[in-house]
Structure 1
Amino acid sequence: MESFWIVLLGLLAAGYFALAGFDYGTALLFRFVGRDERERGRALGAMTPFVLGDEVWLVAAVGVLFGAFPRLEGELLSGHHGAFVTIVTGLVAFTAAVQLRGAAPVWDVPLVGGALAVAVGWGVLAADVTGAPAPLWIVGVVGLFSLHGGTFLAWRLPGRAGVRARALARSLVLPCLLFVPAAVLLAGPVARPEVGVGVAVAVVVLLLGAWVTSGRVAFCCTAIACALPVPAVFAAQDVVTAETMAGTGTLAVLVPAAVVVLPLVLLFQWATWWMVRVRHA
């Protein structure tokens, strides 16, 4: 029972970073990829249909955290106010700006600022939880999200805008290679050091894969690279354990809800991508 909930929380968190990461990365890069308002609108238009579907993973993960890990939820909220305020503020600004940006380019400010705040907030939280230096995690998360957004835009945008996106993405591979594996390996007294080493090696391989490939293959490489730090954070100092979970009776009651919610999240995500594929067919 305990393993089921730990794996479920990890999968939802990893899915959120793998998917929402390119939303934030697109917001951070679109003004550099697009040289005029038409190109910038096209870049944002490539990302916008996915935003709500990608955020569903976070909603589901928070629901599992509150329901199945009440002690962990209490520890996180009580000990990391600054990181959570930054993340929530960024999410509100980003989500509002995505919906309103078409009305006026002035919404670029909360769009970019919100995306940056979310990335920085997650970096600060990862540093607080793992004990690794905050600059490593902050630069690593911002770099990973930006790289992921760049590979997405390079895949989805035609012409010169796609070429510029690919060039930007390639320029971010080296900073990510320097900061992300270092953040994972220096994650304090990691309870399971083999997890940290395995994640660091896998991230290096995936980032190099993003460098030498293109299109959806490169996008898959950066998506997995964004998701992989999740198990490293979970393993650091045994952050997620049976001791932080609710009682067995509560977990048993929640199992039917989890069995329903996860397929719905997957179905919603598949439907979003399918509809966008049909629209561009």
Structure 2
Amino acid sequence: MEIAFLAFFAVGYFVLAGADLGIGMLLPYLGRSGEERGRVLASITPFFLSNEVWLVAAAGVLAGAFPILEGELLGGLYVPFVTLLLGWVSRDAGIWLRGRVERAAWRAGCDGAVVGGSWTVVLSWGFVLAGTGREGVTALGAAIVVPAVVALFCAHGLALAALRLYGGPRERARRFAGASGERTIYALTSGGMALACLLAGSRLPLAENLADPATLALLTPSLLVITPVLVASQGWLWWAFGRVRIR
């Protein structure tokens, strides 16, 4: 059951937060002016923190149910994980602080933090996903996986931007959807996110590294309580804020 919980939280993070990161990566393309970039970021502001909670939940399951494997992953992929955290902080700080000062230079600096942080997080995830096997990160694996992960995050972000925005930013995002439409592209990229996450997870020796039964007896009931609350809160956020396009 703990493997299913880990997969559920990890897939939830990649599907939900992956679009936020894709929008952050493409912020200069989607928003050609400071006002447009503000609207682009407003499309993800209600959700980006709650989307990150899914990663926190996945990390908690990994640490609680697979403590030895967690140590091996952090040790073997120390640099990508530290780089990911630095990018995460930079991206979130840029979003939070952008509106605090009414100066173009300040906002441009925050936009740069969002873009740089988003690219740093996604590139780091590419190396992490490439290194989940027993052989770790190989040059060939990174050369294949990292560009594929970058392309997937960008496509996912464009699909969400087309769904959430009006005007010029929406038209730029829709150029890559073609006749398929943004809803179809978002569904396809969500499936791609889930597949990439599950393929990486399938390379981990999860079953062999489960914690002892006493630990699992405490962890499982907690997860059974937390999971519906997380899903319900996420659903409420999208019901309250996700139905309105940002003008």
Equivalent in 146, 149, 152 of residue 160 of structure 2? 152
Distance change (3 Å), C-alpha of 1:280 and 1:24:
closer
Is the contact between residue 211 and residue 218 of structure 1 (CA under 8 Å) also seen in structure 2?
no
Equivalent in 216, 240, 258 of residue 183 of structure 2? 216
Corresponding residue SS for 1:268:
helix
Q: What is the match of residue 127 of structure 2? A: 124
Q: What is the match of residue 265 of structure 1? A: 230
| 1:229-244 → structure 2 map (5 Å cutoff) | 229-236=196-203, 239-244=204-209
Corresponding residue SS for 1:129:
coil
Corresponding residue SS for 2:32:
coil
Unaligned runs of 5+ in 2: 102-106
Identity %: 40
Q: Which of structure 1's runs of 4+ aligned residues deviate more than 6 A? A: none
Is the contact between residue 165 and residue 245 of structure 2 (CA under 8 Å) also seen in structure 1?
no
Specify which structure has the bigger relative contact order, considering alpha-carbon pairs within 8 angstroms and separated by 6 or more residues: 2
TM-score normalised to the size of structure 1? 0.79
| 1:69-148 → structure 2 map (5 Å cutoff) | 69-102=66-99, 103=101, 104-130=107-133, 131=135, 133-148=141-156
> What amino acid is aligned across from residue 145 of structure 1 in structure 2?
F
- Using the TM superposition, give the Cα deviation of residue 213 of structure 1 relative to its aligned residue in structure 2, in angstroms: 2.1
Where is the helix percentage greater, Structure 1 or Structure 2?
1
Equivalent in 246, 258, 280 of residue 211 of structure 2? 246
> What amino acid is aligned across from residue 86 of structure 2 in structure 1?
T
Corresponding residue SS for 1:224:
helix
- Using the TM superposition, give the Cα deviation of residue 231 of structure 1 relative to its aligned residue in structure 2, in angstroms: 1.6
Whole-angstrom CA distance in 1 between matches of 2:8 and 2:222: 16
Q: Does 1:7 align with 2:10?
A: no
Whole-angstrom CA distance in 2 between matches of 1:59 and 1:37: 32
Is the contact between residue 163 and residue 245 of structure 2 (CA under 8 Å) also seen in structure 1?
no
Is the contact between residue 119 and residue 142 of structure 1 (CA under 8 Å) also seen in structure 2?
yes
Whole-angstrom CA distance in 2 between matches of 1:119 and 1:215: 22
Output the aligned Cα RMSD: 1.8
Unaligned runs of 5+ in 1: 171-209
Corresponding residue SS for 2:26:
helix
Distance change (3 Å), C-alpha of 1:59 and 1:211:
farther
Q: What is the match of residue 161 of structure 1? A: 169
TM-score normalised to the size of structure 2? 0.89
